[in-house]
A = this chain, B = another copy of it.
């Protein structure tokens, strides 16, 4: 067995994980500290504050969970759900069903409202379903990577707050790349990940929640046996590892010994968020938007069709219909093997029907966009597809030159 890792150069244009900033890669090489070393606690405190910025929140609580994005989704849902609680899941793509899956496993009574994946919900449809089903929790996805659609949340959030319901939102695919207003949209818990627009390797989930959720957590807190047998709670959260009521007390001044923090990943997150804040969150949105316009212009001019409603398209993902008669996986393989470019396929009903080009974080760069457009055109010509040659890169260049 060869024991040396040999990693080829890749242009990663999937909806996550994406290319990592060089300085993030470098900072992971910094020696570790013990998780209660005062110098490490300082890093954690800084990370807490920085996490809040892309969420646009004044919440006291914001921290990272040592697990990939879905660990945060599960932590959020099991913190609020008690067996039998009604949870409403408006589903317009794959990851809504993940929220449902987690809620079902937490023994919630889950109600789905379903639709075609090509567009989002009219807020009124969701509000009517809430009125009808009277759930305790509404869990939605802000941006669905599977189909590239982005749900307007403000009206729904307002209705939930007025009616004292909990509004849980998966912002994994938009955090840092598109506007999220946790406070203004009245989101109770929002969850993101490290591996998309923050350009940090996968392995951390980011979470923020407000006082309403803090109150629930306080009422369900159970200290761990072995640290103390005193604080038992019949309504304790079902998981120990993903117990937000303990995690909160690890990240705040109480500093309970819950787990051994993933120091190197926290360094990486610190640097990734620093870069995002130094760029300016509005500038980051603008960069994602222009690169998205260039991708869309290029793809269209090639003669390919996009999937889904363009008025609610996420700036961070572009779903493309695979042309009739073309083997989608063969195109992806050739892109990877000959050009070193990775684009994504999709899931569920969109599997083998749609390719997805990601436009996230450090991967969201002009040179990457131009490279993927030129390469995709060449690979499609090679596969005998009917595309208009020479146009895609020109159209994208045009977007960049006129946006200056």
Q: How far is the CB of A360 from chain B (nearest CB, A)?
A: 12
Residue A12 interfacial (CB < 8 Å): yes
Residue A32 interfacial (CB < 8 Å): yes
The answer to whether A203 touches B265 (Cβ under 8 A) is yes
Q: How far is the CB of A206 from chain B (nearest CB, A)?
A: 14
Cα distance, A27 to B261, chains bound together (Å): 20
Interface string of A3-20 (1 = CB under 8 A from B): 111111110101011011
Q: A100-B225, A102-B240 are in contact. Are A5 and B28 (CB under 8 A)?
A: no
Q: How far is the CB of A90 from chain B (nearest CB, A)?
A: 14
Q: A17-B263, A202-B260, A260-B195 are in contact. Are A270 and B5 (CB under 8 A)?
A: yes
The answer to whether A347 touches B257 (Cβ under 8 A) is yes
* Contact residues in B for A98 (Cβ distance below 8 Å): 224-226, 240
* Contact residues in B for A387 (Cβ distance below 8 Å): none
Cα distance, A98 to B265, chains bound together (Å): 25
The answer to whether B262 touches A3 (Cβ under 8 A) is no
Cα distance, A249 to B336, chains bound together (Å): 24
Cα distance, A35 to B4, chains bound together (Å): 18
Q: How far is the CB of A342 from chain B (nearest CB, A)?
A: 5
Interface string of A154-188 (1 = CB under 8 A from B): 00000000000000000000000000000000000
The answer to whether B28 touches A69 (Cβ under 8 A) is no
Please tell me which one of the listed residues B19, B202, B267, B348 contacts residue A261 in the complex, with CB atoms under 8 A apart: B202
The answer to whether B260 touches A68 (Cβ under 8 A) is yes
Please tell me which one of the listed residues B1, B20, B95 contacts residue A32 in the complex, with CB atoms under 8 A apart: B20
Residue A398 interfacial (CB < 8 Å): no
Cα distance, A31 to B271, chains bound together (Å): 15
Q: How far is the CB of A175 from chain B (nearest CB, A)?
A: 14
Residue of B nearest to A238 (CB): B105
Q: A242-B241, A347-B226 are in contact. Are A10 and B29 (CB under 8 A)?
A: no
Residue A67 interfacial (CB < 8 Å): yes
Residue of B nearest to A100 (CB): B225
The answer to whether A202 touches B71 (Cβ under 8 A) is no
Residue A33 interfacial (CB < 8 Å): yes
The answer to whether A30 touches B5 (Cβ under 8 A) is yes
Q: Tell me the chain A residues, 13-69 only, with Cβ under 8 Å from chain B.
A: 14, 16-17, 19-20, 25-35, 37-39, 43, 46, 49-50, 66-69
* Contact residues in B for A336 (Cβ distance below 8 Å): 37-38
The answer to whether A265 touches B201 (Cβ under 8 A) is yes
21 pairs of residues in contact across A and B, judged by CB atoms under 8 Å: A1-B46, A3-B274, A5-B43, A5-B271, A10-B33, A12-B33, A17-B32, A19-B31, A35-B202, A66-B203, A67-B67, A68-B241, A68-B262, A70-B259, A96-B226, A97-B225, A201-B262, A202-B260, A227-B348, A228-B348, A264-B265
| Extra A-B contacts (9), CB below 8 Å, given A16-B260, A239-B239 | A5-B43, A10-B34, A12-B33, A25-B264, A28-B29, A67-B67, A70-B241, A238-B238, A262-B265
Q: What are the 10 closest A-B residue pairs judged by CB atoms, nearest first? A: A97-B226, A203-B262, A97-B225, A201-B264, A94-B226, A3-B274, A28-B28, A202-B260, A68-B259, A25-B29
